[in-house]
Every structure is written in structure tokens, then in C-alpha cells.
Amino acid sequence: MGLLSVSGITAGYTAADEILKELDFAVDDGEIVCIIGPNGAGKSTLLKAIAGLVAPSRGAIALRGRSLAGLPPREITRLGVAYVPQEHNIFPTMSVREYLEIGGYVDAARTPARIAQVMERFPLLARKRQSAARTLSGGERQILAMAMGLMVEPSLLLLDEPSAGLSPTAAETLFDHIVAINRDGLAIALVEQSASDALAISHRAYVLVDGRNSRSGPARELAADTDIKRLFLGA
């Protein structure tokens, strides 16, 4: 049994709007799995369906064999799935520490210890713990959003376009953090605008086209594929 199993889901934002069409997807323990494809392919919708923010009309989603169907996002978070949205994922007037305290809502008793662990992992957040989130750079804000996801001690981290709007240097730093988090054993499902960067740090990959699985396999193999290079890697 894998960590996450998505089987034949069809989902959209209205009853008549099918963005995902009988899509299959899976993540095993310890993996980084990226989802690439053209705009509108359903990549972000897939993550939202896993997180409980979009309800599939058909198909199944299970975490370690437990169905997530019909569960509210809060309960899915309690079960170990942390979702970090693409943008607008921080509250500008709150301090870094206050933001992390919100992230610990699923287990308030563990919050102080989790904040200490997160700040040890991300020293820049420790240095700026009293700073308002609006004073952080784009890359620092994205790290803060990711740190909030880690506050729930997830078994699966969902990252939706984490490098969107970041400079190349900030994006490189962010990807380094993602790899380090994964090395500590956390499984990650990653939607990323930079297909080449996503494939470079992932174990496996799925290519979505028009809401369907187009290709899947080891990330290195897909990165070397001539058609994938031409369509998604600018080669």
C-alpha cells in the first residue's frame, strides 16, 4: 500500500465543469512526485482535490488506504496532508511567529515545540520571528508558507507552484529546502511552473494534458525524453 492513491477521479469547480477526467495519481513514502503540463491541464485542481478543496464527482482518493472522500479540509490536514497554495498564502500584517502559531492549530499542545523545530530548520525565520510577513522577500514568504505546512507534522506535503514569481536565486534556495525536507523522509507532491527544475529534484513525474494522464514515470527518464523536452522544457 502506498502513501497516497488517487484512482479515476473526475473533478471540477461546478457540476458541469470537468477539469480532471478519470485521472490516476500516486505518491509513495519518501518520494517527491511532480506534476507538469500545459496551463489549464488540471495540475492545481489535482492538489486541491487531494486537500479536500475540490470535491471529485467520481473516483477515489485514499491516504494509507483510508478514503478521504467527503472529508473537510481540516480533517484531511489532521490525517497528515498539508497543502501550500500557489500565492496569497500569508497574512501580511501578522508576525512570522504568529503565522506559525496559526499553523499549529491541529495540535495546540505541540505548537511551541513545532515552532522551535521549524525555526531550527529555517534560521531566517528565527531571525525574523517578530517581523511582519509583509516585510519578507518573495522567497522568504514562500518559505514561511511552507513552514506553516510543516507545523501540522504532515506525512504528505502538497506544494502548488512554489517558485511562482521568484527570482532564479530565490527559487534555487527554495528548491534546496524542498530537497532537504524530503531527505528527512517527508513525501512531497509538487506542481511547478518550471518543469526542468521540478524534474531535476523529483523521483517520479506525471504529465497532465487536458485533465488526463498523458505520461508518467521516473523523472530522469521524462526529463530526457525528446517530446517532453520539446513541449515543456524549451529544448
Residue with cell 497543502: 83
Q: pLDDT tens digit string along 86-96? A: 766 567 788 99
Say how many C-beta atoms besides its own lie within 10 A of residue 58's C-beta.
13
> In the chain, what are the helix, strand and coil shares in percent, each to the nearest 5?
40, 25, 35
Question: SS3 for 106?
Answer: helix
Element (H, E) at 98: helix 96-103
Distance in angstroms (rounded) separating the CA atoms of residues 112 and 86: 27
Does the pLDDT of residue 235 top 60, yes or no? no
Place of cell 524534474: 199
With contact defined as beta carbons under 8 Å apart, do 117 and 109 qualify?
A: no
Residue 90 per-residue DSSP state: S
Q: pTM of the predicted model, to two decimals?
A: 0.92
**CA atoms of 136 and 200, how far apart (whole Å):** 27
* Over residues 94-109, mean pLDDT: 82
**pLDDT at residue 111 greater than cutoff 90:** no
Domain 4-232 belongs in CATH node 3.20.20.70 = no
Question: Where are the domains positioned within the chain?
Answer: 4-232
**Short-list 88, 102, 116, 103, CA closest to 150:** 103
Using alpha carbons, select from 96, 104, 97, 98 the residue that is nearest to residue 137: 96
pLDDT value, residue 39: 87
Query: Taking a C-beta distance cutoff of 8 angstroms, is the pair 201, 173 a contact?
Result: no
Which CA distances in Å does 218 have to 91, 146, 186?
37, 25, 18
Give the three-class secondary structure for 104.
coil
What is the pLDDT, as a whole number, of residue 107?
74
The whole-angstrom distance between residue 125's C-alpha and the CA centroid of its chain comes to 20
Q: What is the 3-state secondary structure (H, E, C) of 153-165?
A: CCCEEEEECCCCC
What mean pLDDT is predicted for residues 91-118? 83
pLDDT at 1: 59
Find the helix packing angle between 96-103 and 111-121, rounded to 10°. 120
- Residues 161-214 have pLDDT tens digits of 998 888 899 899 999 999 999 999 999 999 998 888 999 999 999 999 999 998
